[in-house]
Amino acid sequence: MTALTRRLLLALAALLLTAAPVAAGGPAPLILVSIDGFRADYIGRGITPTLAALAEEGAWATEGMRPSFPSNTLPNHYTLVTGLRPDHHGITDNTLFDAARPGVKFSMGARDQVEDRFWWDGGEPVWVTAERAGMKTATTFWPGSEAAVRGVRPTTWFPYDEALSAFDRVDRLLGWLDLPEAERPGFMTLYFEAVDTQGHRFGPDSPELNQALRGVDAALARLVAGLKARGLYDRINLVVVADHGMAGTSPERVVFVDDITPLDSFTVVTMGWTASLIPRTPQAEAALVGKHPHFECWRKGEMPARLGYGTHPRIPPIICLSQTGWVVTTRARYAERPMTRVGGSHGADPHDPAMRALFIARGPGLRPGSRLPVFDNVSVYPLVMTLLGLTAQPNDGDPAATAAALR
């Protein structure tokens, strides 16, 4: 075989691959990617060329996307795929209690609870609606996808495994696209946690954070290259989001709730930039509610309207929100886990620009070069459902917020 013949055959193969149907008469497949903790302005650092190219080619919220309250991981990941605020879907924070399960604590590390639909059934995520409509779905580590939500699981899903490398996660997804057409998913997810992890450990301005940015961009470059090699880059909708941003912490910015009321007068549910408490006495409640140096506490039914939070039964009676950068904790907790260096966190007011999250979308359903103003992340869901040709469930999103992104 001559070199010319070989090149002709390769060109013909590429043409046939490009012409091959991705889905039989249906909408373009969609890949939803989460880069946990990718603050919107990180893209301006010039070290994520793949993301920058996707942003230039597709739809991009140039100033970022506003998370829901609280600006933490589990609540916002579930908001992105249900279009419901945490106050409505029930994953009201990373740690939960529910009166229907006395003595049981839901947390990110509690495997038995993460896989229990009880906690997740307050919302219907994209993959459940898709599966019911006959579309195969496949998820990699998206919060909620490890449970049979409303009795339905993705066709393919995996328990969270931080040890699985970013490249291996990408290769797994590309393998789904190599399946026979009848088995190929129409909706897929990826999840990367390294940016959030390094942001917490070393802070948003650290070399370690920048190295994590380079790593996740390399993984996305691998994804783009794999799509191009399969003739699918222009035939699949790719939506890249983050759950929240990140801001710096310091051992010099810590406040203690038990300086206001004795430690035995309340029960801690969560601590951090958002703290949730159960007062044990009317006196403790009265002492907690109000403004304090660097944080403020409210009764759950009296929270500011801008936060869209305070009605769900799982929300504790008292919610405190700190000034960005200040950690709310107790002296006992701090003694157990002292802050010894500058780091980073989230959970601050979603209206703080430091909490804004990445949003980029590119593909046949998206308008090239479209630019979106800051919008609430509840509006990602109706966009995704439109791109998938699925009927959205009742949600808090505004289709008009992302309408300019659609062709």
- Supply the residues annotated as catalytic: 73
Residue listed under structure tokens 């019911």? 132
Question: Could you give the count of Cα atoms lying within 13 Å of 136 in the half-sphere of its Cβ?
Answer: 16
335: left (phi over 0), alpha (psi -120 to 50) or beta: alpha
User: 109: buried, middle or exposed (CB in 10 Å: 19+, 13-18, 0-12)?
Assistant: exposed
Q: Which amino acid is at 359?
A: F
User: Which pair of structure tokens corresponds to residue 164?
Assistant: 């699985």
Q: How far is CA 307 from CA 7, 261, 318, 326, 379, in A?
A: 59, 26, 14, 19, 16
Q: Helix or strand or coil: residue 359?
A: strand
Is residue 376 within a helix (H) or strand (E), and if so which, with residue range? strand 375-376
d(CA 184, CA 186): 7
Contacts of 114 (CB under 8 A, 6+ apart): 106, 108, 143, 146, 147, 160
- 260 φ, ψ (degrees, to nearest 5): -100, -40
* Paired residues of 270 in beta bridges: 276
User: 42: buried, middle or exposed (CB in 10 Å: 19+, 13-18, 0-12)?
Assistant: buried
Cβ pair 162, 306 in contact under 8 A: no
Residues in the chain, total: 407
d(CA 184, CA 193): 26
